[in-house]
A and B are shown apart, each in its own frame.
Chain A
C-alpha cells in the first residue's frame, strides 16, 4: 500500500520527466553533438556535461545522442587535458572536473578523463601559495574574511582563489567509483574536503565560500550547499554534515526555482534526508518560467526524478 501511494505521488513527476524534461534535452542537442546553455545556442562543455549525465540515467534516452555528446566533449578538450568554458578559449577551468565526471564509466574516453584529472590535480589555487599565506598575515583582509588558506581547494579559473562549488565538483570528479584516478588525488581530496568544512557558514550550509565577512555570518545558499554535501557525503554522520542537511531540509518548503528544487531533491536522496510530502513540485515551478529555457536546469530535473535513484553511486577509489 505504502509503495503504491509513493508511486502514485511520483507519477505526475515521472510524467513531467518523460514528457517535458527529456524531450527538451533531446531536441536541444546541436548538430556538433554538444548542448548550449539554451536551445539553439552555441555548444559549451558545461551544459553538455549536465545533459549527458541526465541522459545516461535514462533508459529511454537515445544512446546515439549520448555518443554524440561524448564525442563533442572529446573534441573540445585542450591539449593540456583541460576543458575551457567556451570553445574559443585556450585555457581550461573548473569545467574540467565536470567533464571528467561526465566521462566516467566510458571506457573509450578513459585517457581523456585521466588527462583531465591530471590537470585538475595540478590546478592549485593562487590564494594559498606559501608566499600568499605569508603576505595574508599582514593584510587587513585576513581580519575581514577569517578563513584558513592552508586548506586548498579549487578555483573557478586558474590563478584565483578556492571556492565551494568548483572544489565540490573536483572532489566528485576525483572519486573513482570503479575507475582509476591519479595517485595525487587522495592528497588533493583531503585538502579540498578540509577547505569545504572550513568554509561552512555558521549554523550549517554553504554559500559561494564566504562564511563570515566583516564579522557578519555568511548566509548559506541552496546550490553550493547541495554540491558541498554531495562532495562530502561519505562523512554523513559528521556534525557539520548533519547540521547542513538540516539547514537544507528547512529551506525546501520555500524554494522558488526549478533548479534549486531539483538539486535539493537530489541531495536529500543521496545524503539520506527525508523529502517532505508538502515540498513544492517540480512541474508546478516549471509552469512559472519554463526553466528560463535552461539546459542545465532541465538536466538537474531529469536527475532529480530518476527512478531507481542510482546516480553517483559511490564505490571506493582505486589509486593508479
Chain B
C-alpha cells in the first residue's frame, strides 16, 4: 500500500514545476513529455504506475476530458523511462458508463486495446482508508485497491475552471478515485462533506506523486462540463500537486491563495507560494491566458 507522511510546508523541500508550450495535440507529445519527465529523475524504473486522467463525461469533441493524445503519450513516455507497467484508471462521477466515455473520447484509438490497461476505478476492489486529516466530517473512505497499491500515481487533469470548486486541477481530479460503486454517481457524500474539505481528505489519503496538466485546450466558465473550450497551449508537469495547481492558477490568471481548498492544501500537501516552487521551462507570464469564471468566483481572479 502507498503510504504518505504529511509534511508541513516549512519542512518540505522546494517543489519543481515545468511548463511546456504546446500548440496542439498533433505535436510529437511523446518526445516532449519524455524530455519533460527527464527533468525530474523520477523513481519509476521497474515500477507500476497509474495515470489518473480526468474523464468526466462523453466527449466527442475532445474538450471536456484529458485528451487521449496526452494520456497515450504519457503512457509511452513512462514505459520508455523504464516503468514495468503503466495503467490508466478513472472513476467518472456523473455517468456510470465508463466504456461509453472512453469510446466517445477515442482513448482506444490512441492507446490500443484497453482491457488489460484501463481500470474503471468506480468498480475496482476497495479497501477501507481511515482519514487522518479529518478536514471534512468523513472518518473513512473506501478507495480502489489499484490506486492505493500502485508504486507511483500521476494525476492528469485538464486545465479547467469549476462551478463548485473554482478550479479543477490535479487535486480536485482525485475525486475520481472515489468509487461510484460505494458512493454513487455522483459521489454525493463528498458534496455533503464539503467539496473543498473532501478534496483535502482524499489527497491526504492518496496523494499523487506527480501531476501532468493538459492545458493545450482547457475550459473556462461553467466547467467541468458545460464551460467554453479555451486554448491555452501548455502542458504543466510537477512533482507536487499543490505547486502544479498553484502554477496552473497563475497561468489562468487566477489567485491560488484565494481558491479555498488550494490555500488549505498549501499547509500540508505541498507548496503554494511561488518562492517555494522552482519554475522551469516557459515563464508563467509568457503563457498566461486569462480564464473566465462564474460570478461566484470573481474574487479568485487576479
Binding site for B on A (CB under 8 A): 36-38, 41-42, 44, 46-47, 85-86, 88-89, 93-94, 126, 140, 155-157, 159-161, 163, 165-166, 207-208, 213-214, 216, 219, 221-223, 255-260, 288-294, 296-297
**Bound CA span A99–B126, Å:** 20
**Residue in B120, B182, B188 whose beta carbon sits within 8 Å of that of A292 in the complex:** B120
**Bound CA span A47–B123, Å:** 10
Which of B32-40, B96-104, B269-277 lies at the interface? Answer: B96-104
**Bound CA span A288–B185, Å:** 25
Mask of B288-300 contacts with A, CB within 8 angstroms, 1/0:
0000001010000
Query: How far in angstroms is the closest Cβ of chain A from B237?
Result: 29
Binding site for A on B (CB under 8 A): 58, 94-100, 103-104, 108, 113-115, 118, 120, 123-126, 128, 142, 163, 181-186, 188-189, 191-192, 222, 225-226, 294, 296
**Bound CA span A288–B184, Å:** 26
Contact B186 A292 (CB under 8 A): no
A-B pairs with beta carbons under 8 A, tally: 117
**Bound CA span A296–B37, Å:** 39
Name 21 A/B residue pairs within 8 A (Cβ), A-sorted: A37-B124, A38-B123, A44-B181, A94-B184, A140-B296, A155-B184, A156-B189, A157-B184, A163-B186, A165-B96, A208-B94, A213-B222, A216-B226, A221-B97, A222-B97, A223-B96, A256-B99, A256-B100, A256-B104, A289-B114, A294-B99
Contact B189 A157 (CB under 8 A): yes
CB neighbours of B125 from chain A (8 A): 36-37, 41-42
CB neighbours of B192 from chain A (8 A): 126, 159-161
**Bound CA span A165–B114, Å:** 27
What 9 new A-B contacts, CB under 8 Å, besides A155-B188, A160-B184? A37-B181, A88-B142, A156-B183, A157-B184, A159-B192, A166-B184, A256-B100, A290-B115, A292-B114
Known A38-B123, A42-B125, A256-B100; judge A163-B184 contact (CB<8 A): yes
**Bound CA span A294–B181, Å:** 13
**Residue in A38, A47, A86, A222 whose beta carbon sits within 8 Å of that of B100 in the complex:** A222
